[in-house]
Chain A
Amino acid sequence: MQISFKKANRTLVVSIEGELDHHTATEIREQIDREIHKNNINKLIFDFEKLRFMDSSGIGVIIGRYKHIQGLGGKVAVANLTPQVERIIKISGLHKIIPVFDNVQQAKDKM
């Protein structure tokens, strides 16, 4: 699993490459929370273009960041979903509370 960040103003784009499961969730969560605090982030975009696998542990990570950012008055979105990730997000009902975009640019423009 590789995680990379792109920052612009107070927007943070998190790209996760590889797999998001219970095993990788802890590190992903810690790294994102550190970046949020360090850069005073109020918009967080998950870019899942290179995410090969996600299970319900990923839902926990996204909801956790949503609560965190919401507490800071900010917003969360997800972009570039693969069909497998999209199914998990729909089953969990996550798309009803967190907007889903086709790509990162669209997320930045509409958030």
Chain B
Amino acid sequence: MAVNNEMKVEFISKSSNEGFARVVVAAFVSQLDPTVEELADIKTAVSEAVTNAIIHGYENTTGYVKIHCKLIDNVVEIVIEDNGKGIEDVELARQPLYTSHPELERSGMGFTVMETFMDEVHVESVPGQGTKVTMIKKINSSRES
């Protein structure tokens, strides 16, 4: 399958980069002419994955968060990767309301939001090495146009 377009961006694990990550992915995906709702879904999912990398992956230490985004026909694939501490139990982490840090007033809904707003979410994680979240979404509006 031919890749129509592709981009990579890397930034340090500062919370102020969460907004940057959302905007940069949204701007890239805009080429597929998504609806306002599709774009909002993608921004929200990216925000959740990047926030997880910063809070849970790096636990507020400094490291790089990498985003690799591909547009293949009318499908968006977004890979968000960190080299942080990793997730011991991915199945548990994906449960709604589960949070490894209850004291942080987190909702535990990050993965649930990603799963709801994207068509597919795959999580690969190696404790001590990092986490890679791959999210796929078909942009329907561009197919109809």
Binding site for B on A (CB under 8 A): 19, 21-23, 25, 29, 53, 55-57, 59-61, 63-64, 83-84, 87-88, 91-92
Binding site for A on B (CB under 8 A): 15-16, 18-19, 22, 37, 40, 43-44, 47-48, 51, 54-55, 104-110, 112-113, 116-117
Q: How far is the CA of A91 from the CA of B113 in the complex (A)?
A: 7
A60 surroundings in chain B (CB, below 8 A)? 104-107
- Nearest chain B CB to A30 CB, angstrom units: 11
Q: How far is the CA of A87 from the CA of B37 in the complex (A)?
A: 10
Q: How far is the CA of A60 from the CA of B107 in the complex (A)?
A: 4
A88 surroundings in chain B (CB, below 8 A)? 44, 113
- Nearest chain A CB to B60 CB, angstrom units: 11
Q: Which residue of B has the minimal Cβ distance to A65?
A: B105
B112 surroundings in chain A (CB, below 8 A)? 56, 91-92
Given the known interface contacts A22-B51, A22-B54, A53-B43, the answer about A91 and B109 at a Cβ–Cβ threshold of 8 Å is yes
Q: How far is the CA of A12 from the CA of B76 in the complex (A)?
A: 42
A91 surroundings in chain B (CB, below 8 A)? 109, 112-113, 116
> Which 10 A-B pairs rank lowest in CB-CB distance, beginning with the nearest?
A59-B107, A23-B15, A56-B109, A55-B47, A84-B40, A64-B105, A60-B107, A22-B51, A56-B107, A60-B105
Which has the most chain B C-beta neighbours within 10 Å: A56, A57, A88?
Answer: A56
Q: How far is the CA of A75 from the CA of B47 in the complex (A)?
A: 29
Q: How far is the CA of A87 from the CA of B44 in the complex (A)?
A: 11
A21 surroundings in chain B (CB, below 8 A)? 15, 18-19, 47, 51
Q: A56-B48, A56-B113, A57-B51 are in contact. List 4 more A-B contacts (CB 8 A).
A: A53-B40, A55-B47, A60-B104, A63-B105
Question: Contact: A19 with B19, CB < 8 Å?
Answer: yes
The contact sample of 20 A-B pairs, CB cut-off 8 A, is A21-B19, A22-B18, A22-B55, A25-B105, A53-B40, A53-B43, A53-B47, A55-B51, A55-B110, A56-B48, A56-B106, A56-B112, A57-B107, A64-B105, A83-B40, A84-B40, A87-B117, A88-B44, A91-B109, A91-B116
